[in-house]
Structure 1
Amino acid sequence: MNPWAPGEIVVDPNSPEPLYAQVARQLRAAIEDGRLPNGARLDNEVDLAARLYLSRPTIRQAIQSLVNQGLLVRKRGVGTQVVRTKVARPLRLSSLFDDLSELGDKPETVVLVNQVEPAGEDAAERLETPGLTRVRRLKRVRSTGGEPLAVMNNYLPDGVIDPDDDELRAKGLYQLLRSAGVRLHAAQQNVGAREATEEDAELLGEKPGAALLTMRRTTYDDAGRVVEYGWHLYRASRYSFNLSLTNNV
């Protein structure tokens, strides 16, 4: 596939679609099909505006819309850079610990697994790091008001953080990552549902076969690297996901 060049963008001043949206749509297409790969740098706004015969505010608005979607990031001294080849949608990067704390609840955590182990093929694939040899695996039960709410499983590349069990009980995973200097930027998340197994039911205080919500999330830092992959279970009777949708057309 040929490298992307600004000249590939074609805008139609007579189109009802705003000029900035035309530019953003074509930039997004180049990111999603790989012509603008992860880590690629865009020309500065002045040069892009000159090449496309558009105003600088138009280019700035186009770029900002992709920054808001998690596809681009602005870095001082570096410029504008592609950080992901695909992001499902903009996400509020918060953990269950953060959400419960904001609601005034006091999260409680039982740490079931906190260990570094050889990275299997699945962990390396989930963390998008071929050749990864070691991974930190976490498994915790999060409760509130003495009642279990979720079972949380995570993979992290070894060395990103090294928390002990007390830290995992006292703080959320994203708190620990931020405290270690990790700059969380974007995530890809999938939500689904399944029935509780006997093990799930025992951990969550439900009956086998009860409805559970599932969530899988891959979180990226501002350099486009995966810093954690999580697969979690939530009691459908106690938890729901609320999404805010906006019209970007």
Structure 2
Amino acid sequence: MELNTLDKGSHTPLYLQLARQLIRQIQSGVLKPGDKIPSERELSESLNVSRITSRQAIESLLKSGLIYREQGRGTFVAESKMHGIQGFSSFTEDIRSRGYQPGSKVIKQELVPVDEKCRQKLKMGPDELVLHLVRLRLADGEPIAIQYTHLPSRICPGLENEDLENRSLFSVLRDRYFIHPAWTEAEVRASNPTPEEADLLGIGLDEPVLVVDGVTFTESFDMVEVVRTVYNGKSISLYMGRQRLGLLV
């Protein structure tokens, strides 16, 4: 595995430059699932950077789930679940790219105590609050999905009072809070709707829905949100290719 010399004059932190190189090696298949990642010492010596820099780069990939550590053995490439945000684009961008007018109706927008499942995923304290956002997502005015989003209130104070009707949440996060979603990890499964979901989507209880459970990260792999999207199975198809995001890599 070859790594390029880091640009010490760049505004991009050295650890993030190194993390991006490792990501490229994983995405291109140079580093495959199960392959061992060079140690902090090896990275430091080969690139002439401090151990702190190499440690931060490795920690950022550990946090994202791209790699995992085994005590006494080293650090290894994980099975790939991560995709650039282009692979799982925001609802607004996705619907617009299909030639439809995106829209949304806010069903719920409130601060609530974090539950244990979200707390673990978002790495929050037990007494912290999350913004609980439920939206009916529309394409040309027709309901096609319900989206349940949880965001730590500490990263977006006041968002519970923001008008999110027919607005992209990602755009608000970028423009108001300078939070740039870049990566997502998601699982997709078929299911049946709850009575409330069937009513909102205008479908029968026996009609299938597509459920996408995911978490979203920034460029440096800080957690942004836990999100579940329930799609009307007759109205949407998803293509989820493995892509890289130009801003990151």
Q: Give me the whole-angstrom Cα distance separating, in 1, the residues matched to 2:190 and 2:149.
A: 18
Give runs of aligned pairs for residues 27-176 of structure 1, distance below 5 A: 29-30=36-37, 42-43=43-44, 46-47=47-48, 81-82=57-58, 83-85=60-62, 86-87=65-66, 88-91=81-84, 92=86, 94-131=89-126, 133-161=128-156, 162-163=158-159, 167-176=163-172
* CA drift at 1:23: 6.8
Which amino acid letter does the alignment assign opposite residue 191 of structure 1?
Answer: V
Q: Give me the whole-angstrom Cα distance separating, in 2, the residues matched to 1:111 and 1:186.
A: 25
Is contact 1:124-1:131 (8 Å) kept? yes
Which amino acid letter does the alignment assign opposite residue 176 of structure 1?
Answer: V
Q: Confirm or deny that 1:191 pairs with 2:188.
A: yes
1:169-197 CA-to-partner distances (Å, cap 9, x unmatched) read 13212112222211323221101110122
Q: 1:172 to 1:209 in 2, by over 3 A?
A: same
Q: 1:183 to 1:151 in 2, by over 3 A?
A: same
* CA drift at 1:106: 1.7
Q: Give me the whole-angstrom Cα distance separating, in 1, the residues matched to 2:44 and 2:111.
A: 42
Q: How many residues align?
A: 192
Task: Name the SS of the counterpart of 1:167 in structure 2.
Answer: coil
Which amino acid letter does the alignment assign opposite residue 170 of structure 1?
Answer: N
Task: Name the SS of the counterpart of 1:84 in structure 2.
Answer: helix
Q: Give me the whole-angstrom Cα distance separating, in 1, the residues matched to 2:42 and 2:131.
A: 32
Runs of 5+ consecutive residues of structure 2 not aligned to the other structure: 1-24, 67-80, 244-249
Task: Name the SS of the counterpart of 2:83 in structure 1.
Answer: coil
Report what 2:220 is aligned to.
Answer: 223
Q: Confirm or deny that 1:208 pairs with 2:205.
A: yes
Task: Name the SS of the counterpart of 1:153 in structure 2.
Answer: strand
Q: Give me the whole-angstrom Cα distance separating, in 2, the residues matched to 1:136 and 1:27.
A: 37
Is contact 1:152-1:230 (8 Å) kept? yes
Is contact 2:170-2:180 (8 Å) kept? no
Report what 1:53 is aligned to.
Answer: none
Considering only aligned residues, what root-mean-square deviation do their CA atoms show, in Å? Answer: 3.2
Is contact 2:110-2:160 (8 Å) kept? no
Q: Give me the whole-angstrom Cα distance separating, in 2, the residues matched to 1:211 and 1:152.
A: 16
Which amino acid letter does the alignment assign opposite residue 24 of structure 1?
Answer: L
Which amino acid letter does the alignment assign opposite residue 177 of structure 1?
Answer: L
Task: Name the SS of the counterpart of 1:227 in structure 2.
Answer: strand
Q: Give me the whole-angstrom Cα distance separating, in 2, the residues matched to 1:41 and 1:115.
A: 48
Q: Give me the whole-angstrom Cα distance separating, in 2, the residues matched to 1:146 and 1:113.
A: 19
Q: Give me the whole-angstrom Cα distance separating, in 2, the residues matched to 1:208 and 1:101.
A: 28
Is contact 1:41-1:81 (8 Å) kept? no
Calculate percent identity across the aligned residue pairs.
Answer: 20
* CA drift at 1:101: 2.1
Report what 1:241 is aligned to.
Answer: 238
* CA drift at 1:149: 0.5
Q: Give me the whole-angstrom Cα distance separating, in 1, the residues matched to 2:178 and 2:45.
A: 28
Which structure has more relative contact order (CA 8 Å, sep 6+)? It is 2
* CA drift at 1:47: 3.7
Q: Whose Rg is larger? A: 1
